[in-house]
Amino acid sequence: MIRGLIVAGVVALGVSAVVAQTSVIKDRQDAMKQMGAATKGPGGMLKGTEPFNLATVQTSLRSIADAATKAQPLFPEGSGQGDTAAAPKIWQTKADFDNKMKGLAAAANKALADIKDEATFKTSFPEVAKNCGGCHTDYRLKRG
């Protein structure tokens, strides 16, 4: 009977770990999707396919800064398995990854303070996009 309880406990612990990992992966994917959605409007404005709208840009920048801040702790050691595009390099160079996430939030907050009109948008927002792209290049796996 004690052996059965021990086995049940070990199985429950394993299931809890899988559930926790699945949850952290989903949470960080949600944060990344939030960032992706936030870049659509300003991206169109930069390309000239959408008219400039300061309120949209400000909302997008707040969303990017929020998502970058939320996402940073969502990459704990051992959460690289499963349905994730997170590259193993994240955990091999964790300090650099964390600094890039902080840099993205900082760039979004700086752009939020700097952008007052279309001209300042065109000079400031590309720095935010560059920060996004830098992480994707180094820390995101290419999927089919």
pLDDT at 17 over 50: no
Residue 136: predicted pLDDT: 87
Count CA atoms closer than 13 A to 117's CA, side-chain side.
1
pLDDT surpasses 80 at 133: yes
- The predicted pLDDT at position 7 comes to 55
Contact 110, 61 (CB under 8 A): no
Rounded Cα gap, residues 29 and 69, in angstroms: 13
φ, ψ of residue 86 to 5 degrees: the values are -70, 125
Measured distance CA(13)–CA(37) in Å, rounded? 36
Q: Mean pLDDT, to the nearest integer, of 65-71?
A: 96
Model pLDDT for residues 101-121, shown as the tens digit of each residue: 999 999 999 999 999 999 999
Q: Distance between CA 120 and CA 27 in Å, rounded? A: 33
CATH of domain 2-139: 1.20.120.10
